[in-house]
A = this chain, B = another copy of it.
Amino acid sequence: MTVNYNELSKKIKGTFVAKPLSGTLSGHAAGEPFDKHVYEEIKKMFPNNTFRQYEFLNDLYNKNPDIIGFDARQALFNSPTVLFLLSRGKNATDKWTVANPFEEKQNDTADIIVTAGDFYELIDVKTRNISKSAQAPNIISAYKLAQLCVRMIDNKEFDNFTINYFEIDWELKKDKMICCDTHFGCLFDANPSDLYINWAAAMQIQFHVCDLDQTFKGTRKEWTKEYLKHFVNQAKKRADDMIIKFVKPFEKYVN
């Protein structure tokens, strides 16, 4: 771990951002200024090693302007597993040029990337309006995480990256959004078999960072195996549940 989250929390707690002008405070857009605020604080700590995901890719391809096309650009990266998490699709990567770089995308995996030698710390910032009770936010596609685990196992990449979540709890006071609390969690310190998969919501794993247990004591390799077991079991269960809920009650009307 590169970032000191206790130190980060101290810098963020009690600070505020201006309420966005566009009325509604629900959903993704509301917390976005805080995401940028966290990025700036981390960049102060690691000025040369902190990137937005699209900046990271632009930086990598810019340093190698003669390397063109998806396959060649894939080879620029020393970690196929981290690349799987960070890279854009084949079409978008083929089209990339110095004059036509990537722009920010809402569903990028990481909000912030901090590099330390060959180690990659991916940070996703989750913002939460504590005056409303909202369902747990989308964290990552359970399927994408399963594919990630397969790559970790196949490439024996267990120690060169991590995925962390930083939650900012805020409340509105007049026209300011004030950060009243923060929480931090590491995906690989959570018990994989407790992760909730919302199959109907694009198979997203959902949790509030403040509720994420951090008691997993095994190795990363054990984590990947346990997660894959959980994913397969849950997929089987969902397939069974679909028959019970969406087939059985309607069959008598069909025949």
Show the binding face of A for B, using Cβ within 8 Å: 20-24, 29, 143, 146, 149-150, 153, 199-203, 224-225, 228-229, 231-232, 235-236, 238-240, 242-243, 245-247, 249-251, 253-254
Contacts and interface: CB of A to CB of B under 8 A. Distances in A.
A250 to B, nearest CB: 5
20 contacts: A20-B22, A21-B21, A21-B22, A22-B23, A150-B253, A199-B200, A200-B200, A224-B253, A225-B254, A228-B253, A228-B254, A231-B250, A232-B247, A232-B254, A235-B243, A235-B246, A235-B247, A239-B239, A239-B240, A239-B242
Nearest to A246: B235
Give the secondary structure class of A's interface.
helix
Nearest to A20: B22
A140 B143 CA distance: 25
Contacts of A242: 235, 238-239, 242
Contacts of A20: 22
Contacts of A251: 232
